[in-house]
Amino acid sequence: MAEIVQHRIEERIPELEQLERVGLFTKKEVKSIIKRATALEYKLHRLVVNKEDFIAYIQYEINVLELTKKRRAHIHYQFKREEIEFPVIHRINSVFRRATNKWKDDVQLWLSHVAFCKKWVRNCLTICFKSLWIMAAKSELEDRSSSESARHLFLRTLRFHPDNKKVFQEYFRMELLHCEKLRKQKSELEKAEMDLVSFSPEILAGKLADVVYRDATAKIKEAEFVISLLNIAAIFDFTKELQDFILQDLQTNYTADSLTWDFMAKRELEAPGAGEELQTAKGRASDINRREERCCQVYEEGVKSLSAGRCSDTQGYFPKGNNHGLGLKFLQCEEKKKTFYFECRGSCINAEGAAGVATAATRRYSQSAAMWSLSLRTLMQLGSGDVGGLFQEALAHVNPKESLPLWQLQVQWSAASQSPEETDAVFQRGLLSAVAAVAMAIKESYLDWSYSTGGYKKARRNFTSLQENRPLSKAFFTRMIEIEKEQETPRMSSLRDYYERALQEFATSDDDLWLQYIQEELGPLGQPENCSKIHWRAMKFLEGPSVESFTSKYTLMQTGHL
């Protein structure tokens, strides 16, 4: 949770810097905003969230907007709205959406969102009204069992939003739910040998949903939208004919979209195998092999179909257009197939081709962390000699905020392939990262690696030096506690030092950390008389809902239920 909150706060830095730079807020006020925003962010990212926390967050952000507006008028400064107000407005809208998705029946919450949009984001107002229409239609169908009223509401909504994907998706789902309900009623009447109601064969076959589909795709001609309707239809067991029709439409009219090929390739990979063949391990392996081969064939066909021309250095695998996603999917498929052959046959199929694909991928999509990661894994398995240099090149091209998987992969490769001194140098570079998530993850890995290569003394020495360099994660401290407890004669004084240092970082929000500390004192190494002091300190430092959580868990622990 701390990593997520840290990331959210980092995203605010550009707008806060602008506020201070243009003279709308002082440095002290900016620090106050960061402190308050951090506390509010923590509340939104707990396992159990309250509506009041969302409302408090939204109200605080709106207060900042209002104050900014007044300060602008006071100093007659009307520039840089995109850098200052827009991120705040976007953030408020995002939190409103999370809240209304979680508490869909809270009309006041919806109306608050409408009022905010009306004042700050006028072109966003229709989104709120559209959501209210959908809620009303769902209520008619689910609560009042009135398909006619629900259908009428959806049709009225489409008058105002004639090309809205979400409305069509829910309308399509509603017709299928209505059809499913009628089929169940017919089945029950037949079992009771009653024939009091006449059911239309066309409606029972889902023809109304078919009409909605045709109307929707006439207005929205996007492969992603067609696939979303196909996925909805696949939920119902009576829609095989409708699914076949949608699939045929997708393959006929949307082959120019890479999403179509991606979807078709995944269908091949997920297709069920033959019954008898799956009875043996050899048969199952053969079935997996066959499905992976078919999947890769579809990806290759798709890339060739979308390609404006073949590139010699990519062996035709990557198109010249903007088909980054499909190229990545094909490379993933090749990687998976290659790994399968490693495991089942002990050798790599077309190793030279796989290396060529990996090298071409990193050249063509040099800013994609996912492509670099996948390509580097391929080259690592093939034993390529210049992997170390490629890692440096990857980190130079990729956005630092997306670089964590590359750092983790480099550490893994260096520990397995390089000398301890070279691996230590890799860790030292990672520890200097300006991205909090990277620095914290590298600290945790460095501690583990220190213990595995140099034992307890090296781990403790590195822990002592790293604990003063923020940001720090809870996992960094808990791992050192685990290392101490793994020793033949663990020292309680050291364990207390680790807990106390961890509490310097997480005392106000992490009730579990306080409870673990108490449990440690209740253990064979501890002094139970210290528990009351720790409990008192916890009640003093913890804030908000963490106090209630700590109290209930502590009670359970005292009664032996935790």
Asked whether 517 and 534 are in contact (CB, 8 A), the reply is yes
> What is the structure's pLDDT at 562?
59
Q: What is the pLDDT of residues 412-435, one digit of tens each?
A: 999 988 899 999 999 999 999 999
DSSP-derived 3-state class of residue 47: coil
> What is the structure's pLDDT at 310?
45
> What is the structure's pLDDT at 296?
78
Closest CA to 303 of 311, 374, 370: 311
> What is the structure's pLDDT at 461?
94
Task: Dump the DSSP string for 154-208.
Answer: HHHHHHH-TT-HHHHHHHHHHHHHHHHHHHHHHHHHHHTT---S---HHHHTTHH
- CA–CA gap between residue 315 and residue 161 (Å, rounded): 46
> What is the structure's pLDDT at 312?
38
Asked whether 477 and 498 are in contact (CB, 8 A), the reply is yes
250-281: burial string, b at 16+ Cβ within 10 Å, e else:
beeebbebbbbbbbbbeebbeeeeeeeeeeee
> What is the structure's pLDDT at 117?
77
> What is the structure's pLDDT at 245?
94
> What is the structure's pLDDT at 407?
94
- CA–CA gap between residue 562 and residue 554 (Å, rounded): 8
Q: Which two tokens stand for residue 116?
A: 């905010």
326-365: burial string, b at 16+ Cβ within 10 Å, e else:
bbbbbbbbbbebbebbeeeeeebeeeeebbebbbbbbebb
Tell me the residue type at 306: L
CA distances from 86 to 37, 132, 253, 526 (A): 17, 25, 38, 54
- CA–CA gap between residue 121 and residue 359 (Å, rounded): 46
- CA–CA gap between residue 170 and residue 272 (Å, rounded): 29
> What is the structure's pLDDT at 361?
67
- CA–CA gap between residue 228 and residue 220 (Å, rounded): 12
> What is the structure's pLDDT at 166?
86
Q: Which regions of the chain are under pLDDT 50?
A: 125, 308-325, 334-349
- CA–CA gap between residue 445 and residue 36 (Å, rounded): 31
186-222: burial string, b at 16+ Cβ within 10 Å, e else:
eeeeeeeeeeeeeeeeeeebbbbbbebbeebbeebee
- CA–CA gap between residue 549 and residue 175 (Å, rounded): 44
| Sign of the torsion formed by the C-alpha atoms of 335, 337, 338 and 343 | positive
Tell me the residue type at 259: L
Distance of CA 252 to the CA centre of its chain: 32
Q: Which two tokens stand for residue 483?
A: 């290392």
Task: Dump the DSSP string for 329-385.
Answer: HHHHHHHHHHHHHHHHHSS-TTHHHHHHHHHHHHHHTTT-HHHHHHHHHHHHHHT-T
Tell me the residue type at 525: L
Asked whether 100 and 127 are in contact (CB, 8 A), the reply is no
Quick one: angle between helices 125-142 and 107-120, nearest 10? 160
> What is the structure's pLDDT at 1?
59
CA Rg, the chain, in Å? 29
Tell me the residue type at 418: Q
- CA–CA gap between residue 560 and residue 334 (Å, rounded): 53
Alpha helices by DSSP H, 398-435: 404-417, 420-431
The pTM of this model reads 0.46
CA distances from 199 to 250, 271, 423 (A): 31, 34, 72
| Own/partner pairs, 98-107, CB within 8 angstroms, 24+ separation | 98/44, 98/54, 99/51, 99/54, 99/55, 99/58, 100/131, 102/49, 102/51, 103/51, 104/135, 105/135, 106/51
